[in-house]
Amino acid sequence: MIARELGHAITLFVNPSQVISGNDYWFSRFDALVDGRTVRRCNFQGVAYQLDHKEELRTFRFAVRPQLLVATEAEAQWLLDEVEAVLGAGEAQTGEHARSLSRDEFDQLCEAGVRIGNHGWDHQCISALNAEQQRDSIIAAGDWLRSTSKQPVRDYAVPFGIERLHPDARPACSGTVYQVDSGLPPKAADPSSLFRLNLTPTLQET
Ligand SMILES: [Zn+2]
């Protein structure tokens, strides 16, 4: 909204699943659980972690994260229920800034002239999906976003931006496909794709 008030052109890539369910993204809930831990050590899937050691906390995060990345929404929440239990983080709350977009906020952003893009039905990494599932995710999200925003909605940003779409799924997106900048030259994205710049590392430094 601030960017719109300042006159910037904005495209927001949206997952209908989280707008409809109101559920937090797994990465937001996961961060909240880790931050809200009440134990100094834990045992997860047969491995012990000393969580007040920065390096081991990081190792714990990277033991869980790859499983969450490819999990379905339901599987991710089950896994996080387990994480919540081993971390004693039942009181953890997701920060307001990390909450999923509500339907009201979505409507307000559309009214403010924000252009809507397709981010797939939910945020599951597309490496977990076959060509047909990738296509279904793009089509279902596109249909919902078009009818809800009354906008054309053509472009698609791959969740996490790392994996490439299966060639058989590519026609489901009639616009541009956005990957995340991998440090490769722009031409390394295939002709119908573009790299988007990931600001996360810059933000984490500040
Ligand atoms: Zn995303």
Domain residue limits, the chain: 2-20+100-205, 25-87
Q: Pick the closest to residue 173 from 116, 119, 128, 114 (CA basis).
A: 119
pLDDT bin (cut points 50, 70, 90) of residue 198 is confident
| CA 20 to centroid of ligand 1, rounded, Å | 16
Q: Which CATH number fits domain 2-20+100-205: 3.90.550.10, 3.40.140.10, 3.90.850.10, 3.20.20.370?
A: 3.20.20.370
Does the structure show a pLDDT above 80 at 191?
no
Residues 6+ apart with CB under 8 A from 18: 24, 25, 100, 101, 122, 123
Render pLDDT for 123-163 as a digit per residue (tens, 0 to 9).
999 999 999 999 999 999 999 999 999 999 999 999 999 88
| CA 119 to centroid of ligand 1, rounded, Å | 7
Residue 197: is it exposed, middle or buried by C-beta count within 10 angstroms (0-12/13-18/19+)? exposed
Does the structure show a pLDDT above 70 at 84?
yes
| CA 97 to centroid of ligand 1, rounded, Å | 15
Question: pTM for the whole thing?
Answer: 0.89
| CA 185 to centroid of ligand 1, rounded, Å | 22
198 versus 66: which is more confidently predicted? 66
- What mean pLDDT value characterizes the chain? 93
| CA 24 to centroid of ligand 1, rounded, Å | 13
| CA 167 to centroid of ligand 1, rounded, Å | 21
pLDDT bin (cut points 50, 70, 90) of residue 187 is low
| CA 1 to centroid of ligand 1, rounded, Å | 18
| CA 81 to centroid of ligand 1, rounded, Å | 22
Average pLDDT over residues 172-178: 94
User: Could you give the CA distance from residue 57 to residue 47 in angstroms, rounded to a whole number?
Assistant: 12
Does the structure show a pLDDT above 90 at 194?
no
- Cα distances (angstroms) measured from residue 33 to each of 61, 135, 177: 11, 33, 33
27: number of Cβ within 10 Å: 15
Q: Pick the closest to residue 159 from 187, 117, 192 (CA basis).
A: 117
Res 60: pLDDT? 97
Res 195: pLDDT? 83
| CA 173 to centroid of ligand 1, rounded, Å | 17
Res 189: pLDDT? 67
| CA 42 to centroid of ligand 1, rounded, Å | 29
| CA 124 to centroid of ligand 1, rounded, Å | 9
> Do 177 and 193 form a contact (C-beta atoms < 8 A)?
yes
Q: Pick the closest to residue 109 from 19, 35, 10, 8 (CA basis).
A: 10
| CA 158 to centroid of ligand 1, rounded, Å | 8
Res 186: pLDDT? 63
CA 99 from chain centre, in angstroms, equals: 12
Res 90: pLDDT? 94
pLDDT bin (cut points 50, 70, 90) of residue 204 is confident
Least confident of 68-72, 96-100, 167-171, 189-193: 189-193
Which residue has tokens 């119908």?
A: 192
| CA 16 to centroid of ligand 1, rounded, Å | 12
Average pLDDT over residues 163-188: 85
Average pLDDT over residues 157-179: 93
| CA 41 to centroid of ligand 1, rounded, Å | 31
Residue 5 has φ and ψ, to the nearest 5°, of: -60, -30
Does the structure show a pLDDT above 80 at 200?
no
User: 11 pairs with which residues across the strands?
Assistant: 115
